[in-house]
Structure 1
Amino acid sequence: MDSTILAFLVQDGVTSGAIYALLGLSLVLVFAVTRVIFIPQGEFVAYGALTLAVLDVGRVPGTLPLLLGLGIASFLFDLIAMRRGFRSQLLVTSALLNLALPALVYGLVVTVMPMQPGPIVRALLTILIIAPMGLYIYRVAYRPLADASVLVLLITSVGVHLALMGMGLFAFGAEGLRAQPLARGSYSLGFLPIPAQSLWIYGATIAAMVGLYVFFERSILGKALRATAVNRLGARLVGVRTNLTGGTAFVLASTIGVISGVLIAPITTIYYDTGFLIGLKGFVAAIIGGLSSFPLTAIAAITVGLVEAFASFFASNFKEIIVFSLIIPVLVWRSLTTDPHEDE
């Protein structure tokens, strides 16, 4: 292996690692705030990539009716919750959030698409379609179980993953799709060409990390999420609305997921079930980071991407085995260095 091949492998590894870093950060965020191991994170990646690919050919994606359906289901759950104490203000807020917002997004997409917008506008429309799904999924599947054990929440995540994967098959079919790049061309770094799409991935990853840091350090809502992550009961006692922080965490996770999907859609063919494997690699990075450290998760994600790239070159048939085997020594080390304790 010469220096040219080495440089290309490093570039591929860093590009993949940047995507895994985004997913790992969202997994850590959701787990810290809600104690949910968010297995369906990969479905948002697949939904984002496939939705963008469908918008590229000028068709209405199947995720738009899905968004409307999830909004209606969330509204019905709010009505059930109001049976103990009806308040008109809550009803209006729920109707605006669960019914008016999806309808507005649907109308915007249907109105804008005949104008043949550019790739950036189509990417923004994709984010508008997928991002609210995180809130609705939290409201329907997770909020009623907010005080359940981690095991129950994990089982729920498996069920949500299977449901979303089935919905993805129904909405997009079994064929793979690839979107148009957000930016064409490439730039040269010595002898190494760097595609413009890869620069988008690097920029989005850095922007997400900086944005999350500013959000958690400077905003009231970000500090409320941090308080909920440190002590959920203590946050409740001081007036933090844990339902609000939980919904916010899921919206951030779905937004990060769809952005990841938009970024990788032009560089690989995505199927309705591709997101699960991509999400698992982000999960490996999150586990190495202890499901608590954002910087360590980002470093671990880059490592996972590099290991995957070199494994593809030296032992392509065992690539996935090598990547997922990274989690074994980490779990063994943590089991030996962490004091055992029972779950609440």
Structure 2
Amino acid sequence: MDPTIALFLAQDGVTNGAIYALLALSLVLVFTITRVIFIPQGEFVAYGALTLAAFERGVLPQTAWLALLLGAAAFLDDLIRLPDRRSPRRVLAALAADVGFPAAVLAAAWWAAPRHLGPLAEVPLTLAMVASLGPFLYRLVFRPLAEAPVLVLLIAAVGVHLALVGLGLVFFGAEGFRTAPFSTAVIEAGPATITGQSLWVLGVTGGLILALWAFFGHTLTGKALRATAVNRLGARLVGIPTAAAGRIAFVLAAFIGALSGVLIAPVTTVFYDTGFLTGLKGFVAAIIGGLVSFPLAAAAAVLVGLVEAFASFWASSFKEVVVFTIIIPVLLWRSLRSGPAEDEE
């Protein structure tokens, strides 16, 4: 391997690592606030990429119909489970948020799809319809299990993952798609060649990480989420609604997943089941971070991307095995450092 090839591999690894960092951050966010190991995170990546690809082909994405159906189901579920919210004012507010917003996005997508309006219109529509799936899934699947053991939440997450993969096959078909790059610029930096799409990925990732830092450190809602992550019972005792915290966490996770899909769609062909493997690599980074540390998870994601890039050069047939093997010494080290676990009553 000469230095030029090493630079190309490093660039590819850092770019992929930036995507894995976003997924790792969203996994840590959801787990610390709701205790849900969010296996379906990768499906939001695939849905984001394939929804944007549908717009580029001039086809109405079926994701819009899914968001409307889930919103209607969440609205009916609230009416049945939460009788204290049946006042006319709350019913109208819930109807507007759960049904009105997805319906408006569906109408906008219906109008925009055949007109090929370009990324400035299609990307926001994609993010809106895919991100709205997150809170609806939380309210329908995970909120009723909020006090269940982590294992039960994990099983529910696996069920949601399988359902979303099956729906992805129905909505988008078995064929893979790739979208047009946001930038076709190529920058020569010595022996390395930097593509404009890579700069888009790194810039958006960096900007989103800074936005999350500002949100959690300097807003009341962000501080409430941090308090819920530290101690759910204590947060509830001081008046922080943990259910609302869970909804916000799922909104952020779904938005980050959809944005990751939009960013990777121009550089790789995405299939309906591509998100699972991508999400697992983010999960590896999140595990290295202990599912509690955002900076460590982001750094581990870059490491995962670099290992994947160089493994594809040295042993391309086993690159996935090499990436997932990273987690073994980390788990062994954490197991040796931790004391004996007490039996759960």
- The 1:85/1:130 distance shift into structure 2, 3 A limit, reads closer
Counterpart for residue 225 of structure 1: 225
Counterpart for residue 108 of structure 1: 108
**Displacement of 1:49:** 0.4
Give the partner amino acid of 2:176.
G
Rounded Cα–Cα distance in structure 2 between residues aligned with 1:27 and 1:78: 26
**Displacement of 1:298:** 0.6
Counterpart for residue 36 of structure 2: 36
**Displacement of 1:57:** 1.2
Alpha-carbon displacement from aligned partner over 1:219-256 (angstroms, at most 9, x marks no partner): 11100100000000000000000011000000000000
Give the partner amino acid of 1:160.
V
CA contact (8 A) 2:178 2:267 kept: yes
- The 1:339/1:88 distance shift into structure 2, 3 A limit, reads farther
Please tell me whether residue 298 in structure 1 is matched to residue 298 in structure 2.
Answer: yes
CA contact (8 A) 1:27 1:38 kept: yes
Counterpart for residue 339 of structure 1: 339
Rounded Cα–Cα distance in structure 2 between residues aligned with 1:85 and 1:63: 28
Aligned pairs (5 A) from 1:306-321 = 306-321=306-321
Rounded Cα–Cα distance in structure 1 between residues aligned with 2:89 and 2:236: 22
Alpha-carbon displacement from aligned partner over 1:274-329 (angstroms, at most 9, x marks no partner): 00000000000000000011110011000000000010000011111110000000
Counterpart for residue 26 of structure 1: 26
Counterpart for residue 134 of structure 2: 134
**Displacement of 1:195:** 1.0
Rounded Cα–Cα distance in structure 2 between residues aligned with 1:217 and 1:143: 26
- The 1:203/1:85 distance shift into structure 2, 3 A limit, reads closer
Give the partner amino acid of 2:174.
A
Counterpart for residue 99 of structure 1: 99
Alpha-carbon displacement from aligned partner over 1:162-219 (angstroms, at most 9, x marks no partner): 0011110110011111111122222221221111111110011101110110000111
CA contact (8 A) 1:311 1:322 kept: yes
Give the partner amino acid of 2:278.
I
Rounded Cα–Cα distance in structure 2 between residues aligned with 1:84 and 1:54: 41
CA contact (8 A) 1:120 1:182 kept: no
Deviates more, 1:11-20 or 1:111-120: 111-120
Alpha-carbon displacement from aligned partner over 1:112-152 (angstroms, at most 9, x marks no partner): 33442122321121101101110101011101111111010
The runs of 5 or more residues in structure 2 that have no matched partner are none
CA contact (8 A) 2:37 2:153 kept: yes
Counterpart for residue 57 of structure 2: 57
Aligned pairs (5 A) from 1:115-154 = 115-154=115-154
Alpha-carbon displacement from aligned partner over 1:18-60 (angstroms, at most 9, x marks no partner): 0000000000000000000000000000000000111011110
Question: Per the alignment, in what secondary structure is the counterpart of residue 291 of structure 1?
Answer: coil
Counterpart for residue 213 of structure 2: 213
Counterpart for residue 330 of structure 1: 330
Deviates more, 1:107-116 or 1:7-16: 107-116
Question: Per the alignment, in what secondary structure is the counterpart of residue 194 of structure 2?
Answer: strand
Please tell me whether residue 77 in structure 1 is matched to residue 77 in structure 2.
Answer: yes
* Percent of residue pairs identical: 58
Rounded Cα–Cα distance in structure 1 between residues aligned with 2:237 and 2:5: 57
CA contact (8 A) 2:53 2:177 kept: yes
Counterpart for residue 237 of structure 1: 237
Rounded Cα–Cα distance in structure 2 between residues aligned with 1:85 and 1:10: 54
**Displacement of 1:88:** 2.6
Rounded Cα–Cα distance in structure 1 between residues aligned with 2:167 and 2:9: 35
Give the partner amino acid of 1:317.
S
CA contact (8 A) 1:119 1:181 kept: no
CA contact (8 A) 1:131 1:258 kept: yes
**Displacement of 1:84:** 6.3
CA contact (8 A) 2:56 2:118 kept: no
The runs of 5 or more residues in structure 1 that have no matched partner are none
CA contact (8 A) 1:119 1:180 kept: no
**Displacement of 1:85:** 6.4
Deviates more, 1:39-48 or 1:180-189: 180-189
Give the partner amino acid of 1:294.
F
Counterpart for residue 174 of structure 2: 174
Question: Per the alignment, in what secondary structure is the counterpart of residue 279 of structure 2?
Answer: helix
Rounded Cα–Cα distance in structure 1 between residues aligned with 2:72 and 2:182: 33
Q: Give the TM-score, by structure 2 length.
A: 0.97
Give the partner amino acid of 2:326.
L
CA contact (8 A) 2:79 2:85 kept: no
CA contact (8 A) 2:55 2:116 kept: no
Please tell me whether residue 90 in structure 1 is matched to residue 128 in structure 2.
Answer: no
